[in-house]
Amino acid sequence: MKVIEHLERAKGPLISFEIIPPLRGANLRKLLQLIEDLAKYNPPFIDITSHSAELIYHETKDGIRRVIKRKRPGTLGLCALVQNKYDCDAVPHVLCEGFTREETEDFMIELKYLGIENVLAIKGDDIGFKKPLQAGRSVNEYAVDLVRQIANMNRGDYLEGEILLDAEPSNFCVGIAGYPEKHFEAPNLEADIRHTKAKVDAGGEYIVTQMFFDNEHYFKYVDRCREAGITVPIIPGLKILTTRKQTKSLPSFFHCEIPSELADAVETAKSKAEILEAGVDWSRRQTEELLDRGVPSVHFYVMQSSKAVSMVLDGLDI
């Protein structure tokens, strides 16, 4: 089922999650347990992140070696696992960075054969190098270009459309990213919302926001989107702060603000358990307020451990 159909048919609050594939060669057992833990909350869908090859420096006995490889392959396999074993719709992330349009089309065809109907189309993080383009290959520079490519496939317009006369249209529900505190590359929030509107106009059917820790950022963002003519569902994305170092790493990497009350509670905590409790308490209050205000769903960036999100959800009356 498509994400927008889950939202339209929901009779109560929906909770969804985002997980990350394990490192290359790692045992899958821990991730399988994570999915089992999350499945008990009956998520309508689970996002699986995607990762392109990136530039990595390895220290060896002969000096520093420069390597380009994918640290976390496995998105497609995890999608098949989530969709078929756990009867939960998988939402793979599809990236611009690190993939050609031709590779993207191949990936989308494989998803179609697996019966996967949802994707989240995003630009992706800077991977540290520019992948050399072979002759006849092309790239999507921005997320709006990627959304257009998927929308074209949904109309049966493939990259080699003049040859594929019998091409069958795909039927993907396309999610896009939104930034309540604006994307770091945008000059201001108004410009960022214009870019978001362009993605919706190109075929985006719902928005999942970047993580935020102050609900006012989300509420104001929704108001501004509606004023700009964006009518699609806007799902708030939440991250539970669980370590002291995240008060610095999360703002640096995701360009989000940590409210002073939360930052102070973490900085003054005397143990890891107190830090976790502070983050869980904050996220629980965030979630309660969002649900009270009628959000269509709450999306948790879980990644690799269910402990914190279980503490949040088990404390809610849903």
- Name all domains of the chain by residue range, CATH numbers in brackets: 3-314 (3.20.20.220)
Are 209 and 177 in contact by the 8 Å Cβ rule? The answer is yes
Residues linked to residue 207 through DSSP beta bridges, in sequence order = 176, 234
Asked whether the predicted pLDDT for residue 56 surpasses 90, the reply is: no
When pLDDT is averaged across residues 206-214 and rounded to a whole number, the result is 98
Of 22-26, 63-67, 289-293, 300-304, least confident by mean pLDDT is 63-67
Strand segments, DSSP code E, in 145-281 are 173-178, 206-209, 234-235, 237-238
Instruction: Using the predicted structure, report yes or no on whether residue 228 has a pLDDT greater than 90.
Output: yes
**Per-residue model confidence (pLDDT) at position 161:** 59
Q: In Å, how far are 51, 165, 169, 276, 277 from 172, measured between CA atoms?
A: 20, 20, 9, 38, 39
Question: pLDDT by residue (tens digit) across 125-148?
Answer: 876 666 677 877 899 999 999 999
Positive or negative torsion for Cα 165, 161, 150, 77: positive
- Report the length, in residues, of the chain: 318
Which residue, among 312, 315, 296, 207, has the nearest Cα to 11 in the 3D structure? 296
* DSSP β-bridge partners for residue 47: 18, 91
Mean pLDDT over residues 102-128, rounded? 93
Residue with the bigger pLDDT between 24 and 56: it is 24
What tokens does 48 get? 């699986």
> Is-contact 203 151, C-beta < 8 A?
yes
Beta strands in the chain (DSSP E): 14-19, 45-48, 54-60, 63-69, 89-95, 118-122, 173-178, 206-209, 234-235, 237-238, 297-303
pLDDT at 160 over 90: no
How confident is the model at residue 247, as a pLDDT? Answer: 96
Full-model pTM? 0.94
Q: Where is average pLDDT lowest: 66-75, 191-200, 209-218?
A: 66-75
pLDDT value at residue 164? 59
pLDDT in tens, 13-30: 899 999 999 999 898 999
Confidence of residue 100 (pLDDT cuts 50, 70, 90): very high
Which token pair is 307? 């402990």
**pLDDT over 70 percentage in the chain:** 95
What is the reported pLDDT for 57?
Answer: 72
Instruction: Provide the terminal-to-terminal Cα distance of the chain, rounded to the nearest Å.
Output: 22
Model pLDDT, residue 293:
96
Please give the average per-residue pLDDT across 283-291, as a whole number: 98
Does position 78 have pLDDT exceeding 90, yes or no? yes
**Residues 165-179: what's their mean pLDDT?**
92
* Ramachandran category for residue 11: left, alpha or beta (phi over 0 → left; psi -120 to 50 → alpha): alpha
How far is Cα 223 from Cα 237, in angstroms, rounded to an integer? Answer: 17
State both tokens at 16: 């969804």
Query: Would you place residue 75 in the very low, low, confident or very high pLDDT band (cuts 50, 70, 90)?
Result: very high
Reduced to 3 states (helix: H, G, I; strand: E, B; else coil), residue 154 is helix
Buried (b) or exposed (e) across 85-99, using 16+ Cβ within 10 A? ebebbbbbbbbbbbb
Across the chain, mean pLDDT equals: 93
Single-letter residue type at 316: L
Residue 233, pLDDT above cutoff 80:
yes
